[in-house]
A and B are shown apart, each in its own frame.
Chain A
Amino acid sequence: MKTFKMGGIHLKEYKFSAGIQIQTASIPQQAIIPLGHYLGGPSLPVVQKGDKVKVGQMIGQASGFVSANVHASVSGVVNRIDVHLDASGYKVPSVFIDVHGDEWLETIDKSAEIKRECTLSSAEIIKRITDYGIVGLGGATFPTHVKLLPPPGKKANVLIVNGVECEPYLTCDHQLMIEKGEEILVGVTILMKAIDVKQAIVGIENNKKDAIALMQKLAKTFVGIEILPLQVQYPQGGEKQLIDATIGRQVPTGTLPIEVEAVVQNVATVFAVYEAVQKNKPLFERIVTITGKSLKNHGNFLARLGTPLANIVEQAGGVPEDTGKIVAGGPMMGRALSSLEVTVAKGTSGVLFIPTLEAARKNMQNCIRCTKCVVTCPMGLEPFLLMSQSERSMWTEMENERVMDCIECGCCSFACPSNRPLLDHIRYGKSTVGKIIRTRQAKK
């Protein structure tokens, strides 16, 4: 069975919420929709206090090419535009909407019927994706239309669909494949048309055998889609690792997947594309896994953007007694939250409750040069060295040691027997070196 070759670790899966049918999270009394939670520039509000809005109505406009539109996830009246805490720990501009009823735009097709025929042209598909605010729902939240519009001279020859969900605990993508498999595959054909490729590969890790079986059965009714089971290994869901695992191509340093003629999209993003193109539905809701060892009712909740996480957590049985850390996302790359008043954003794949005993970091010891960080690094870097250099502000050396190749997967810190905060220092180095590079390029 295929997998990526360099580095990687095997994690305990803890998929407590696997197989639990998607429930609908209750609509809050006030939705607080962030305007700039995704990669790229924040969007600009196009509504103001007092405006009446319907579900699906645009409330934020993209501020450039690498940015995305934001749409109302609830109907009601705009209370104010103000800053509010998001998963990054910072307060970001958000639209506060007092909810009245659940009135959707008339143009949205609310029916459950699966539409397979797509009559739109490639350009129209991409325009729809752009207009409806579709971003990468795997967690990176990169604006999707940017991936679909490669620079001149570059063209894809394969679409790779990420059904891997390599982070422990999270099951939103898994459940989506079980319940909306056919819609996802229609979305795949739509994207294949958009970027003009004849071949699509859907990578699914082997711990989701039911999803693999179902998708393989459904794929037979489509042309050019291959369902590829993959050996379970973290971080296989990383774009570069997935491309290596599925088609054996390694994206060269400093370049994007289009360089090896591939485009990668997460299954949830693909589903959002289906809904945008076939149902005329902008992105305003997503599935959020609520999970943790001590949680009462694990679940996969379909939640509207802007729903305070506290609301959904109530439905899942409330915060467990022994909670020491609340993470938005998965345990390897998610963000620790300071409060559950943070609301669902486009990248909120899950909320994880970690008991205090597990959450506290142990004291750091000397590096014993065991090479575990080097062995596990999927990008072939030397984390122990990068941390040393970062501590000594050796930015030029760090750039030469390819620190910008780091995908921040966390394998190094995870594996280190001396509990060294390798990724913390590497991230700091990345951010400093990134600034230096941008300054250098601006001067040119």
Chain B
Amino acid sequence: MNKLIISPSPHVHSGDSVWKNMRNVIIALVPAYLAGLYFFGLGALIISFTAMLSCVVFEYLIQRYLIKGSTSITDGSALLTGLLLSFNLPSNLPVWIVIIGSLVAIGIAKMSFGGLGNNPFNPALVGRVFLLISFPAQMTSWPKPIPFNPAYLDAVTAATPLAILKGQFSEIPSTLNLFFGNMGGSMGEVSALALLIGFVYLLIRKTISWHIPISILLTVFIFTGILHLVNRELFSVSPLFHLLTGGLMLGAIFMATDYVTSPMNPRGMLIFGFGIGIITVVIRVFGSYPEGVSFAILIMNAFTPLINTLVKPKRFGEAKKA
């Protein structure tokens, strides 16, 4: 007989792993990725590969040569951070800026806190916001959606729907165009349809629950709806417009639902989503930035530990007797 293993129960494991969860999210992002390639062409391809590769390389170098430990790049989290970072960038962003973004995302937002599981803020969003503040001009020049655009750095640019709204200087795209993604914006944020397909996939695979995305979208819808009803002249666009534009879909489904930086139980998640929704609406409607989702998510990330402490899951035996 072989040597016997003695360890406490349970003696079986689900087989789940960090990689499997990252892989599910990457698969869920495929429709949006294809939409990005369709509308933004070569630029989308270049920045996504640059971001993914540089994130993985930076994580490897930091773990092996700075921390001098073992590397965890095979768990797929750096790869996913790179992919999500590129989704939040305009597709004509120069390669060197993308690489700086990756370095900030992985090096500062993730590794300096202790690696996966220890970061308080969403790494991809930290990278993106850093780039927005450091390179405002490049980060707000949005390529016009041209099917399979072969141009990269010299892509023709146009304003995003939210910028149009702020500046009120041209036609807002039709709702159908907004839904499919035929508008200016970050590489991965434009197609609500593609992102929603990804959402359904994640729900089926039980990778995320519905609480955060639905509470964000519902909050934004309701509050922009109230504003629209109260003063149709000042708040001229419908709540549906708000749902389909900017990075809201991408943020609600893929960025706010990041495991590490979001609350740990359903009630906490609803509060988290509500906060993100409110802050997004305030920035969009009353702030000077056309878009506010990234800031909203980062601000609520800061509240996550507090939410986890104050909001506990429902305990067994708390419910009243039947």
Chain A residues with a Cβ under 8 A of chain B: 6, 9, 11, 89, 168, 240, 244, 247-253, 260, 319, 322-327, 331-338, 352, 354, 356, 358-362, 365-372, 374-375, 378-382, 384, 402, 405, 408, 410, 413-419, 421, 423-424, 427
A366 in contact with B115 (CB, 8 Å): yes
Identify the closest chain B residue to A359 (Cβ): B5
Q: CA of A261 to CA of B186 in the docked complex: distance in angstroms?
A: 60
Question: Which of B5, B114, B209, B317: most chain A CB closer than 10 A?
Answer: B317
Enumerate the 5 nearest inter-chain pairs by beta-carbon distance, A residue then B residue, closest first: A410-B10, A366-B117, A248-B322, A380-B315, A417-B16
B14 to chain A, nearest CB (A): 5
A361 in contact with B322 (CB, 8 Å): no
Once A249-B322, A417-B16, A417-B18 are accepted as A-B contacts, the answer to whether A405 and B10 lie under 8 Å apart by CB is no
Once A252-B317, A324-B4, A416-B16 are accepted as A-B contacts, the answer to whether A367 and B117 lie under 8 Å apart by CB is yes
Give the segment of B163-171, B232-240, B259-267 that binds chain A. B259-267
Report B-chain residues with C-beta under 8 Å of the C-beta of A375: 209
Partner of A324, one of B5, B14, B319: B5
* 20 sample A-B contacts, Cβ–Cβ < 8 Å, listed by A number: A6-B314, A252-B317, A324-B4, A325-B11, A331-B9, A336-B6, A338-B6, A354-B11, A361-B13, A365-B18, A369-B260, A371-B209, A374-B313, A380-B314, A382-B312, A382-B313, A405-B317, A413-B13, A417-B16, A418-B117
Partner of A335, one of B9, B259, B262, B312: B9
- Please tell me if B72 contacts chain A, counting CB pairs below 8 Å: yes
- Contact code string B251-287 (vs A, CB < 8 Å = 1, else 0): 0000000011010110000000000000000000000
B7 in contact with A336 (CB, 8 Å): yes
Chain B residues with a Cβ under 8 A of chain A: 1-2, 4-14, 16-18, 20-21, 72, 75, 77, 114-118, 209, 259-260, 262, 264-265, 312-319, 321-322
A397 to chain B, nearest CB (A): 11
Q: CA of A253 to CA of B315 in the docked complex: distance in angstroms?
A: 9
Q: CA of A414 to CA of B260 in the docked complex: distance in angstroms?
A: 20
B319 to chain A, nearest CB (A): 5
Report B-chain residues with C-beta under 8 Å of the C-beta of A331: 9-12
Q: CA of A317 to CA of B9 in the docked complex: distance in angstroms?
A: 26
Once A369-B264, A378-B316 are accepted as A-B contacts, the answer to whether A414 and B5 lie under 8 Å apart by CB is no
A413 in contact with B4 (CB, 8 Å): no
B316 in contact with A6 (CB, 8 Å): yes
Once A6-B316, A366-B116 are accepted as A-B contacts, the answer to whether A371 and B264 lie under 8 Å apart by CB is yes
Report A-chain residues with C-beta under 8 Å of the C-beta of B322: 247-249
Partner of A358, one of B8, B12, B77, B321: B12
Report B-chain residues with C-beta under 8 Å of the C-beta of A413: 10, 13
Partner of B11, one of A332, A370, A384: A332
B312 in contact with A334 (CB, 8 Å): no
A334 in contact with B117 (CB, 8 Å): no
Report A-chain residues with C-beta under 8 Å of the C-beta of B319: 250
A416 to chain B, nearest CB (A): 7
B264 in contact with A359 (CB, 8 Å): no
Report A-chain residues with C-beta under 8 Å of the C-beta of B318: 250, 380
Q: CA of A423 to CA of B118 in the docked complex: distance in angstroms?
A: 22
Report B-chain residues with C-beta under 8 Å of the C-beta of A423: 8-10
Report A-chain residues with C-beta under 8 Å of the C-beta of B17: 417-419
Q: CA of A115 to CA of B177 in the docked complex: distance in angstroms?
A: 78
B264 in contact with A382 (CB, 8 Å): yes
B264 in contact with A323 (CB, 8 Å): no
Identify the closest chain B residue to A339 (Cβ): B4
Besides A333-B10, A337-B4, A358-B12, 17 other A-B contacts (C-beta < 8 A): A260-B321, A323-B1, A324-B4, A324-B5, A365-B75, A366-B117, A368-B260, A369-B259, A370-B259, A380-B316, A381-B315, A382-B265, A415-B16, A416-B16, A417-B20, A417-B21, A423-B8
A415 in contact with B14 (CB, 8 Å): yes
Q: CA of A427 to CA of B311 in the docked complex: distance in angstroms?
A: 24
Q: CA of A247 to CA of B321 in the docked complex: distance in angstroms?
A: 10
B2 in contact with A419 (CB, 8 Å): no
Partner of B13, one of A325, A381, A419: A419
Question: Which of A248, A370, A424: most chain B CB closer than 10 A?
Answer: A370
Report A-chain residues with C-beta under 8 Å of the C-beta of B16: 372, 415-417
Report B-chain residues with C-beta under 8 Å of the C-beta of A250: 316-319, 321
A379 in contact with B18 (CB, 8 Å): no
B309 to chain A, nearest CB (A): 10
Report B-chain residues with C-beta under 8 Å of the C-beta of A372: 16
Identify the closest chain A residue to B304 (Cβ): A369
Q: CA of A337 to CA of B14 in the docked complex: distance in angstroms?
A: 22
Identify the closest chain B residue to A380 (Cβ): B315
B212 to chain A, nearest CB (A): 11
B307 to chain A, nearest CB (A): 12
Report B-chain residues with C-beta under 8 Å of the C-beta of A417: 16-18, 20-21
B311 to chain A, nearest CB (A): 11
Question: Which of B8, B115, B318: most chain A CB closer than 10 A?
Answer: B8
Identify the closest chain A residue to B70 (Cβ): A363
Q: CA of A249 to CA of B11 in the docked complex: distance in angstroms?
A: 30
Once A335-B9, A358-B12, A366-B118 are accepted as A-B contacts, the answer to whether A379 and B316 lie under 8 Å apart by CB is yes
B76 to chain A, nearest CB (A): 11
A198 to chain B, nearest CB (A): 18
Report B-chain residues with C-beta under 8 Å of the C-beta of A6: 314, 316
Report A-chain residues with C-beta under 8 Å of the C-beta of B265: 371, 374, 382
B12 in contact with A368 (CB, 8 Å): no
Report B-chain residues with C-beta under 8 Å of the C-beta of A11: 12
Q: CA of A252 to CA of B64 in the docked complex: distance in angstroms?
A: 51
A384 in contact with B264 (CB, 8 Å): yes
Question: Which of B9, B17, B321: most chain A CB closer than 10 A?
Answer: B9
Q: CA of A378 to CA of B315 in the docked complex: distance in angstroms?
A: 9
B51 to chain A, nearest CB (A): 21
A365 in contact with B72 (CB, 8 Å): yes
B11 in contact with A374 (CB, 8 Å): no
Identify the closest chain A residue to B1 (Cβ): A319
Report A-chain residues with C-beta under 8 Å of the C-beta of B7: 325, 336, 361
B312 to chain A, nearest CB (A): 7
A323 to chain B, nearest CB (A): 6
A402 in contact with B5 (CB, 8 Å): no
Report B-chain residues with C-beta under 8 Å of the C-beta of A251: 316-317
Identify the closest chain B residue to A334 (Cβ): B9
Report B-chain residues with C-beta under 8 Å of the C-beta of A414: 10, 12-14
Report B-chain residues with C-beta under 8 Å of the C-beta of A416: 16
Report A-chain residues with C-beta under 8 Å of the C-beta of B9: 327, 331-336, 408, 410, 423
Once A89-B6, A323-B4, A423-B9 are accepted as A-B contacts, the answer to whether A405 and B321 lie under 8 Å apart by CB is no
B124 to chain A, nearest CB (A): 15
Report B-chain residues with C-beta under 8 Å of the C-beta of A415: 14, 16
Report B-chain residues with C-beta under 8 Å of the C-beta of A322: 2
A368 in contact with B18 (CB, 8 Å): yes
